[in-house]
Amino acid sequence: MEEAQRRALRRGRARLVAALRVAPLWDPLEDRGLFTRPMVEELQSAGSRGEQARQLVIDLETRGKQAFPIFLSILRDTGQGDLADMLIEECERLQAPPQLVDLRPVELDLRGEKRNKTVNFPERLSIPVQAESERPGRPPAPAWGSAVDKRNSDLVYKLKADPCGHCLILNNVHFSRDSDLSTRDGSNVDCEKLEKRFKALRFNVLTRQDLQAEEMVSELQKLARQDHRALDCCVVVILSHGCQTSHMQFPGGIYGTDGKPIPIEKVVNYFNGTNCPSLRGKPKLFFIQACGGEQRDRGFVVDCDSPGNEAPGGSLESDAAPFQTPAGNVDEPDAVASLPTPSDILVSYSTFPGFVSWREASRGSWYVEMLDSVLEQYARSEDLLNMLLRVSNAVSAKGRYKQIPGCFNFLRKKFFFMCK
């Protein structure tokens, strides 16, 4: 969706919330492919008519390039053409070019004896204006973040290899009875999305399912010990239950299926410049879908333009587990005690340290859903940090309980994915 269309929806939100009749919209929205049936049902569960309208307008911004014109068409088909006209007017107003300053000569007020004399100015030169079709062709300036911009920038990681790197996905769904950790329904949805997404971003993807802590450590070490000299990047994705742990650098821990925690900082430091020399100077990206603790964030009251929808009923779960002090063979403190400051590392967390991370059985986690959607729409034009801001903004707008993703960024340059 174009930025002017997004801004038109935001500027018209108050009137849409006040006047939009949502009941006639549900079937056309599904029939025209803007929303799936589960998405429609979630919108219907948002609360009152006004709350449903508010969430619909917010979600429209994430539904692709054709969402705006299709929504206008549905409004007209359901007898709400006045709202469609209002949005078009807002969009045209935002797209209107700035008015040109009139530079024609004006008469001067001359002082003294020349006051009453007529001052003659030369005729304005007549400059013929070529028609657009007659002008010599000139390529448009490249958009910021385009391939041209990336090639010319000194502060951008160069990704030339194909595949550009390895992507390891550790997906823990089923946990042992002794662990007291529940089955993570919906995690396979996350896993399938990210497998497809990172393959499309030119990564060699390897998935490992339901690993105990020692097995997770083994897979991570195996990847870190590979020769990455011919590659440009490395990605690690962990989908599991999580908890708070004592830490020196990166907060939080993730659980193996046996209920034993592994500190995130230990996971990250397998790949730093000391332990993985072939990745020195190359970006190492970690995406963690797990709780950072047990706190449930109910948010705080904001102005009327902010989302106020209720959480979907029935299938909302968290990946939280109680705080545990690291113990045992999988999280020895001396593994990180004398490491250098990390560089070329980014760790993206699904939630703020200490808080839960929400997941739905049918659609997967909020974080992965929005990460996949943002990568699909913006990976060709925007750098990773900008896209993660979009993910945080989108996730923070969901649900009765709130969630805010964030990252620890030690990258030295901008990172742009390679897209097929």
Contacts of 194 (CB under 8 A, 6+ apart): 169, 237, 287, 368, 371, 372
Active-site residue, 167 included: no
Length of the chain: 420
Core vs surface per residue 239-264: b (16+ CB within 10 A) or e:
bbbbbbbebebbbbbbbbbbbbbbbb
Active-site residue, 91 included: no
Contacts of 125 (CB under 8 A, 6+ apart): none
Q: Which of 166, 241, 243, 276 is catalytic?
A: 241
- Please tell me the distance from the alpha carbon of residue 339 to that of residue 242, in angstroms, as a whole number: 24
- Please tell me the distance from the alpha carbon of residue 407 to that of residue 386, in angstroms, as a whole number: 12
Laid out side by side, the sheet with 261-263 consists of 242-243, 253-255, 261-263
Cβ-based neighbour number of residue 235 at 10 Å = 24
DSSP at 285 = E
Residue 120 tokens read as 């003659």
Contacts of 65 (CB under 8 A, 6+ apart): 1, 2
Q: What is the dihedral of CA 195, 196, 197, 201, to 10 degrees?
A: 100
What residues does 233 pair with on adjacent strands? 165
What residues does 407 pair with on adjacent strands? 348
Cβ-based neighbour number of residue 194 at 10 Å = 25
Residue 377 tokens read as 């729409």
- Please tell me the distance from the alpha carbon of residue 233 to that of residue 159, in angstroms, as a whole number: 8
Measure CA 205 to chain center: 21
DSSP at 180 = T
Q: Which of 91, 164, 291, 407 is catalytic?
A: 291
Query: What SS3 class is residue 7?
Result: helix
- Please tell me the distance from the alpha carbon of residue 96 to that of residue 116, in angstroms, as a whole number: 43
Q: Are strands 242-243 and 316-318 parallel, antiparallel or unpaired?
A: unpaired
Give catalytic residue positions. Answer: 241, 291
